[in-house]
Structure 1
């Protein structure tokens, strides 16, 4: 937009590599690094960037320590400032950024303003760093306001937040959307079915587990891991959504867990494609055991969507029904 310098963006700084400074004990978060960089950049590019304010969430954390309480802190800051700003940037560590992006997409119902997450693989204080381009790109995207939803900006790509996964520990091109193209990449955007009025809905603590199938996994271990008070589990299956269906003990364990009220979600261990229980007999038996398909959702979207739906206090069958519907463009309905 030509009037971008008249728009206002709030930067919520939670920590992460981007704002770290080298110390005797290694890199550690330092609030001044981000503030000094932004002050200098906004002075240089005042006509190309929106006006920005920074709110640091203290203490700054490594994102591997992120909790539901931290998500709620971000949600609260966006809700409190929603009418005052045209967009928001959440500066975040890369390890769990995709989880936070998905979590915010579900919690911010009726969102019509950009919420853009970003961070970096190398601190701003080091050369070379991907921090400057990521941060300024996110600020510009939030100021332009083209996409009124939660997104993630990294390495020149603006991506739907609940479609993103981190795919590299080292590369500047650290995030991808395996089943969805970045915005502006000849993409036909799916609908974001937000409610008409903005509501920020904080998360509640729910008991969710993520388990991956491996050859030799015993029924006893699976039964013990999935026992109540667990509420839901995301099981990473083989291929299109398969499990060792000849292991009757394992299949019986799944049926018992489902009967005990635990919601079982099956997703593929493959990054691309959609989980389907109707393609092979091995998948069909999972469906008979009570599994619901994660379709083409990322693991991050599956986990945070379960947190969101369970937090609404809905009956089990309603959670399972809504889980397979597109609430914020997190899955492809045509698959």
Structure 2
């Protein structure tokens, strides 16, 4: 029988109604008492990292989770992380870059309603997650929610309250779980390389969301405090004309200082392509800008947090950014 380590971090799945609203109160062992049937799948041990609302999740929590998995990696066949939904997509993306080439499944799940109330989705999500973690053809970091198995780098919370809260963005779901059956859509390709852990994270990544009429000095202001700025532009990507003069004036200086700009889009589906319009094509070619293409914002942010700790040169960081990790990006033409 396989051994699974369940890691508790809090979230709605662990919450109870308190005087001022829902708040995490149940420990991971208490949560498991609501799904006694999972004992038929595997042996389960439990580790409580924290018990917080996921709004309060930070990179330090990701480091604690990754560190716990690294410490216990050889002793278990898989891992299930109980997590709040609000930042679950960030955590699943972060762990995808912090724990690479895992032959063992690392599953992240949670719920839209606490496990101790009627009509909760928590029991099904937890049961599905443990079932998936026990399967011989499961590997890498995934998010399991409402029967969907989503690559850790492709998950995004799209619904605030509905049970089908998470969607797979710009990539198919990996599998569907129905009545204890796993229906796979992506062929299983065993990991050939050994697992690698990258637990250092940069705190110098910032997102600038473009709005019409934004002041031209915003980039210079942000670069005083951050080494990497992700610009969430409009449509397929570009810089507004009123910011271009300042951009050209300062960009060479920023690059000489070791600063990085990554272009992304505010549009969730289909991704960016700066080659389409003049407002994007020229600046991308002039400065060899990195573009996020079809990546989620959560994946873009967390990938850069890992890479900034590994690389200081622009060519090295750019090359590594375009290397596919856990299905995160489709842009083979950039891998030169």
TM over 0.5: yes
* 1:234/1:267 contact within 8 Å kept: yes
Residue 162 (structure 2) aligns with: 171
Residue 326 (structure 1) aligns with: 324
Matched, 1:30 2:25: yes
The whole-number CA distance in structure 2 between the counterparts of 1:17 and 1:119 is 7
Structure 2 counterpart SS, 1:55:
strand
Aligned with 1:78 (options 69, 79, 94): 69
Aligned with 2:214 (options 213, 217, 222): 217
The whole-number CA distance in structure 1 between the counterparts of 2:210 and 2:133 is 40
Give the root-mean-square deviation of aligned CA atoms.
Answer: 2.2
Provide Cα deviations, 1:255-305, integer angstroms capped at 9, x if missing partner: 254454321111111111131121111111331244211011100110011
Shift in Å at residue 95 of structure 1? 1.0
Gaps of 5+ in 1: 1-5
The whole-number CA distance in structure 1 between the counterparts of 2:42 and 2:279 is 54
Residue 55 (structure 1) aligns with: 47
* 1:159/1:183 contact within 8 Å kept: yes
Do the aligned partners of residues 17 and 45 (structure 1) sit closer, same or farther apart at CA in structure 2, a change above 3 Å counting?
A: closer
Provide Cα deviations, 1:285-332, integer angstroms capped at 9, x if missing partner: 331244211011100110011011111144222101211221332111
Provide Cα deviations, 1:63-118, integer angstroms capped at 9, x if missing partner: 11111111110011111111111100011111111111111111113311000000
Mean Cα deviation higher: 312-321 or 87-96: 312-321
Give 1:247-258 correspondences, 5 Å limit: 247-252=243-248, 255=251, 256-258=253-255
* 1:263/1:320 contact within 8 Å kept: no
Provide Cα deviations, 1:199-257, integer angstroms capped at 9, x if missing partner: 322123330100111100011233212x2442111111111112213643343366254
* TM, length-normalised to structure 2: 0.89
Aligned residues: 324
Residue 311 (structure 1) aligns with: 309
Residue 245 (structure 1) aligns with: 241
* TM, length-normalised to structure 1: 0.90
Structure 2 counterpart SS, 1:165:
strand
Shift in Å at residue 53 of structure 1? 1.2
Aligned with 1:15 (options 10, 17, 21): 10
Do the aligned partners of residues 206 and 313 (structure 1) sit closer, same or farther apart at CA in structure 2, a change above 3 Å counting?
A: farther
Shift in Å at residue 175 of structure 1? 0.7
Shift in Å at residue 334 of structure 1? 4.9
The whole-number CA distance in structure 1 between the counterparts of 2:192 and 2:239 is 37
Residue 266 (structure 2) aligns with: 269
Do the aligned partners of residues 197 and 314 (structure 1) sit closer, same or farther apart at CA in structure 2, a change above 3 Å counting?
A: farther
Give 1:135-284 correspondences, 5 Å limit: 135-184=126-175, 187-188=185-186, 196-225=193-222, 227-245=223-241, 247-252=243-248, 255=251, 256-284=253-281
The whole-number CA distance in structure 2 between the counterparts of 1:191 and 1:238 is 36
Provide Cα deviations, 1:148-187, integer angstroms capped at 9, x if missing partner: 1000000110110011111111111111112011113674
The whole-number CA distance in structure 2 between the counterparts of 1:89 and 1:334 is 32
Structure 1 counterpart SS, 2:48:
strand
Mean Cα deviation higher: 136-145 or 248-257: 248-257
Structure 2 counterpart SS, 1:81:
helix
The whole-number CA distance in structure 1 between the counterparts of 2:237 and 2:256 is 21
* 1:258/1:289 contact within 8 Å kept: no
The whole-number CA distance in structure 2 between the counterparts of 1:237 and 1:257 is 19
The whole-number CA distance in structure 2 between the counterparts of 1:331 and 1:72 is 24
